[in-house]
Amino acid sequence: FALYFFLPPPAKYGGRHTVTLIPGDGIGPELLNHVREVFRFSCVPVDFEVVHVNSALETEEDINNAITAIRRNGVALKGNIETKHTMPPSVKSRNNLLRTSLDLYANVMHCQSLPGVQTRHQNIDIMIIRENTEGEYSSLEHENVPGVVESLKIITRNNSLRIAEYAFRLAREKGRRRVTAVHKANIMKLGDGLFLQCCREVASGYPDITFDSMIVDNTTMQLVSKPQQFDVMVMPNLYGNVVSNVCAGLVGGPGLVPGANYGRDYAVFETATRNTGKSIADKNIANPTAMLLAGCMMLDHLKLHDHASSIRNAIFTTMNENRLHTADIGGQGTTSEVVQSVMRIIQSKGQLTAEF
Partner 1 sequence: VGSPAFLSLQRERRCLGVCDGGQMQTVTLIPGDGIGPEISTAVMKIFEAAKAPIRWEERNVTAIKGPGGRWMIPPDAKESMDRSKIGLKGPLKTPIAAGHPSMNLLLRKTFDLYANVRPCVSIEGYKTPYTDVNLVTIRENTEGEYSGIEHVIVDGVVQSIKLITENASRRIAEYAFEYARNNQRSSVTAVHKANIMRMSDGLFLRKCREVAENYKDVKFTEMYLDTVCLNMVQDPTQFDVLVMPNLYGDILSDLCAGLIGGLGVTPSGNIGANGVAIFESVHGTAPDIAGLDLANPTALLLSAVMMLRHMGLHDYGNKIQTACFDTIRDKKVLTKDLGGNSKCSEFTADICRRVQDLD
- Minimum CB separation from partner 1 for residue 310, in Å? 30
Closest CA to 344 of 356, 332, 335, 352: 356
Under rule CB under 8 A, residue 56 binds partner 1: no
10 binds partner 1 (CB under 8 A): no
Would you count residue 285 as binding partner 1 (CB under 8 A)?
A: no
Strand partners, 270: 259
Q: Binder to partner 1 among 188, 281, 285, 327 (CB under 8 A)?
A: 188
* 205 near partner 1, judged by CB under 8 A: no
Strands of 194-247, DSSP E: 210-215, 232-235
**Number of residues in contact with partner 1 under rule CB under 8 A:** 60
Q: How far is the CB of 60 from partner 1 (least distance, A)?
A: 15
Rounded to whole angstroms, how far apart are CA atoms 276 and 78?
A: 11
Amino acid making up residue 103: D
* Residue closer to partner 1 (CB basis): 9 or 253: 253
Separation between Cα atoms, residue 83 and residue 73, nearest integer Å: 25
Is there binding between residue 156 and partner 1 (CB under 8 A)? yes
Instruction: Name residues whose C-beta falls within 8 Å of residue 189's C-beta, 6 or more positions apart in sequence.
Output: none
Q: Does 250 bind partner 1 (CB under 8 A)?
A: yes
Reported as type and span, the H/E element at residue 158 is helix 157-173
Closest to partner 1 by CB, 197 or 347: 197
Q: d(Cα 21, Cα 75) in Å, to the nearest integer? A: 9
Span of 8-16, 37-45, 216-224, 292-300 interacting with partner 1 by CB under 8 A:
216-224
Q: Is 51 helix (H, G, I), strand (E, B) or coil?
A: coil
Q: 40, 121, 264, 344: which one contacts partner 1 (CB under 8 A)?
A: 121
HSE-CB at 161 with a 13 A cutoff on CA atoms is 6
Name which of 72 and 226 has its Cβ closer to partner 1. Answer: 226
Q: Is 65 in the site for partner 1 (CB under 8 A)?
A: no
Beta carbons within 8 Å of 287's beta carbon, 6+ residues apart = 253, 254, 255, 256, 326, 328, 329, 335, 338
Q: Give the footprint of partner 1 on this chain (CB under 8 A).
A: 83, 85, 89-93, 96, 120-121, 136-137, 139, 141-143, 146-158, 184, 187-191, 194, 216-218, 220-225, 238-239, 241-242, 244-246, 248-250, 253-254, 273-275
